[in-house]
Amino acid sequence: MTRTQRWLIRFAYWAFIVFAALNFHDSFRFLLLNTLLAYIPIELSFWLTPRRSAPAFWCLAVLWLLFYPNAPYLMTDLFHLSLLKPYAVNGLLRFNLAMWRDFAYLVGPMLVSILVGTWGVDQVAKNSLKRLRLTRLPGGRSIAAAALLLFASIGVYVGRFMRLHSIYLLITPQYIVKQLVQMWSLKMLAFVLIMWGLQLIIYAAWRFTATVDDD
């Protein structure tokens, strides 16, 4: 990703966040915080380059890992589409421009966060393997990315059902650790596997597309 592309992505996020702060109220106010939290790991991924010193890289990588689940978390916000009451009495979708505008507000940040976030996962996986001298490990890049996505899936569960944000880990770590130890169950694991599978499909599609473009 070029420097120009990174700045375009930054501008898009900043513009949307400012727009949301000025215009979103009531039901869709959550988009402001959720989009801001999703932007943090994307910005961090821009800084995780091979030029970083080892201590700086690993500190940023840990911080990125703590915040990255906020990107796929936006997929779960799509359930808020039900707030738009999209169906008319006849069962067909309503043609209401305000409703479709709100649809764009929900879907737009999610798509950008997933696409750019997936790029970030791949970059973190690739650069981490280089620093650990594991680049010759068969399938190492995909394995590392899959591990990161599994962690992210657990993070989505924590955020959606336990209502714990990544920032809490920095503020009240003891309370968070206690909650994390007690959260495990079969239903929780089933949800994590669903989210993990979905993210793996997205990552595989992204890798396939990137490979085709390279050819």
| Local confidence pLDDT in tens for the 215 residues of the chain | 888 999 999 999 999 999 999 888 777 888 899 999 999 999 999 999 888 899 999 999 999 999 999 999 999 999 888 888 888 888 888 898 988 988 999 999 999 999 999 999 999 999 999 999 898 888 899 999 999 999 999 999 998 888 776 666 666 767 677 777 888 899 999 999 999 999 999 999 998 887 655 54
Q: Residue written as tokens 């010193």?
A: 53
Helix 140-161 and helix 186-214: axis angle, to 10°? 140
Is there a contact between 43 and 56 (Cβ–Cβ < 8 Å)? no
pLDDT reported for residue 168: 65
Spell out a b/e string for 39-54, using b for 16 or more CB atoms within 10 Å of the CB, else e: bbbbebbbebeeebee
10 Å Cβ neighbour count for 209? 10
Output the DSSP codes for 37-98.
HHHHHHHHHHH--TTS-HHHHHHHHHHHHHHTTHHHHHHHGGGGGGGG--B-TTSSBP--HH
Length of the chain: 215
Calpha distance 74→89 (Å, rounded): 29
H/E stretch holding 24: none
Alpha helices for the chain (secondary structure H): 3-23, 30-47, 54-67, 70-76, 97-131, 140-161, 168-171, 173-182, 186-214
3-state secondary structure of 25: coil
Domain holding 179, by residue range, is: 3-214
Q: How many folded domains does the chain comprise?
A: 1
pLDDT reported for residue 51: 85
pLDDT reported for residue 215: 45
Nearest C-alpha neighbor of 37 from the set 202, 151, 183, 156: 156
